Structure 1
Amino acid sequence: MKVKIMHQVDWRGWDDRKGKIPVLEDQVNKFISDKEVIDIKYSNSISMAANQEMSDTDHDESVLIIYDEKPSTIKQKTFDEFTGDDEINEFMKNHDVIKLEHFGDLDEVETIITYKEEKNK
């Protein structure tokens, strides 16, 4: 899991030295297009300062993106009662296991493994 913080100070999306820059929404959409987003947190604030000679307003937007680099899918694999423990343990050792369940009675137990698998690009 990783995080990315994006920040935009001027609400108009302009930087006089560089010309128009992408607004924060466009930057976020471009960044997350090839990521698995876990969560996005947004914050904005406006401040104002004034005295008899001048006044100024500042607007600040920030986005925290929590993501994984590689998109993944959730899959399941079922093993029947004839599958040996070594085969199940080997499968679990080589996969990102989320949950292990057993169903049935003492003579006929099925094992279902839920795991995460990276998507192929």
Structure 2
Amino acid sequence: MSFDPAVWFEIKEFVRHATGWPMDTLHVMGGVVLQLIVAALLRTSLASKWPWLIVLGLELANEAYDLWLERWPSLAMQLGEGARDLLGTMLLPTLLWWIASRHPRLLGGRRR
């Protein structure tokens, strides 16, 4: 059984059209939702580095996939879009990880 690389693109397009949200919004929401799901699956808190690292790895894989599958007229524009996606995806997970690990009382947790 082999995986058709275009399937991931089609899944992303389906989600974009089904929600009506732009891809930037989906990146922001996807990063946070993935971080929460990974933390729950690993049975760890957001203060752990692992949910953040896994989201980062998945986002880097997604951007590498986009770079491999899509061909833009300008490589600089495509790389800039990828950088924007990376920043948009990781900003809130980074903030949540930082708050959970450094200032857990802000999230209702106990002080270390």
TM-score, with structure 1 as normaliser: 0.27
- Bigger relative contact order (CA 8 A; separation at least 6): 2
TM-score, with structure 2 as normaliser: 0.28
The structure having more radius of gyration, on CA atoms, is: 1
Greater share of strand residues, 1 or 2? 1
